[in-house]
Structure 1
């Protein structure tokens, strides 16, 4: 049961870390990407409560508490299996929606502050520019300009530009040349793989917990009947 406590903590922490990693892209991704880590956080907290029940049942040698513990752990196992399947589907299906969302948001860069802040944030943190490459900004900003967040530190902004921009360049030392689409896609896929890996590992621990709880409950019931 101690390992169930640990697994609950691990699930909660992993869920929080993954949500933090993909949360910065929330304007560009849908619930199929953000959903699994949120579910993991909730499941981790529930596992803590269930482990407490199992601990009490084992200490008090209560047959019914142990059976309830095993059943609830089985429900959690099924939930984690569903999250794993959802994460696997999201790993392959989110890319088309991601590109479409990036294109829509880019077209609104000079119109809405939310889109501008989202783009500036990811370009600065991921050191990327545009969707596929910096040239994509030409349709939005014109005059061979890219957002200032595409430019390396120390690059002078174009005078009187609003929002701040700098001249487009194919020089990597001046402007980030890699598009943001691939970088976001890789980062999200990496985090989805983490969710799937942790989920499989925790599932084995939970299955072992279910078997041990049922065996302990059966032993307790047998001893009670013999008395």
Structure 2
């Protein structure tokens, strides 16, 4: 009966390790997709936000290898390997918990970072030595249908807008020269030519949506990890007290 129960736990370990493998691959994929998206806006988001998907990729790779160790421990019925699997899983759980708490505490910094970086990079828009900044701004304004950090009139405060122009990427119908003289128009006239809402709120919404996906993925993974830790400890204990601890590692 004890042997049957141990086999049941063993099969559950296999099942959960299969889930871990899938989870690891999913985390690596999700992290890569989000990182690829964030990289386009590196000038705005800063290293802190962009580092989150990198951490996700690392965790996914580690989970994949930990799951492999768990499978090996169950196959060889090794107390040492199975216990190592449970301990490593517990360490991953603690690291994820610490990362989650840190992200929650620093969540308000994202708005400050976006505001600061966008205001600063606007000053360099269109300059010869800042092609990357110009492309980033054009990409954001065209994709998000926005203009300026919080309002299209902010372009009047930077060198590019001194003549009354805004970038063509602000235009509702983006064609060459469409942003010329927009700052000299009335707000009503400008609204027919360019997108008047700012890009900071739009970017915050994008980051928030991505963090929601990260949070959901982390919550599901943590729940699976807790079960995996308990099963790993249970199986290792069974090996230890039924003589399997003598099996070679």
Note whether the superposition's TM-score is higher than 0.5. yes
| Residue number in structure 2 paired with 1:145 | 165
Distance 1:134 1:23, change over 3 A: same
1:190 partnered with 2:217: no
Question: Alignment partner for residue 134 of structure 2, among 111, 116, 122?
Answer: 116
SS at match of 1:28: helix
Offset, 1:142? 2.0
Cα deviation digits, residues 129-167 of structure 1 (max 9, x gap): 111111111222223211011112354516xxxxxx433
1:223 partnered with 2:242: yes
| 1-structure distance, mates of 2:145, 2:243 | 66
| 1-structure distance, mates of 2:103, 2:68 | 28
Offset, 1:225? 6.7
| 1-structure distance, mates of 2:244, 2:139 | 66
Offset, 1:12? 1.7
When the two structures are aligned, how many residues end up with a matched partner?
221
Distance 1:225 1:27, change over 3 A: closer
- Which of these two proteins has the greater Rg computed from alpha carbons? 2
1:136 partnered with 2:154: yes
Question: Alignment partner for residue 67 of structure 1, among 55, 61, 83?
Answer: 83
1:166 partnered with 2:184: no
Moved more, 23-32 or 96-105: 23-32
Moved more, 62-71 or 132-141: 132-141
Unaligned runs of 5+ in 1: 159-164
Q: What's the RMSD between the two structures over aligned residues?
A: 2.0
Offset, 1:173? 4.2
Question: Alignment partner for residue 52 of structure 2, among 23, 36, 42?
Answer: 36
SS at match of 1:166: coil
SS at match of 2:43: coil
SS at match of 1:201: helix
8 A Cα contact 1:84 1:195, kept in partner:
no
Offset, 1:221? 1.7
Cα deviation digits, residues 96-125 of structure 1 (max 9, x gap): 122111111001113222221111111111
| Residue number in structure 2 paired with 1:214 | 233
1:126 partnered with 2:144: yes
| 2-structure distance, mates of 1:14, 1:83 | 17
TM-score, length basis structure 2: 0.82
Distance 1:23 1:226, change over 3 A: closer
TM-score, length basis structure 1: 0.89
SS at match of 2:220: helix
Cα deviation digits, residues 15-65 of structure 1 (max 9, x gap): 223223322221112222112211010110111111011001101111110
SS at match of 1:215: helix
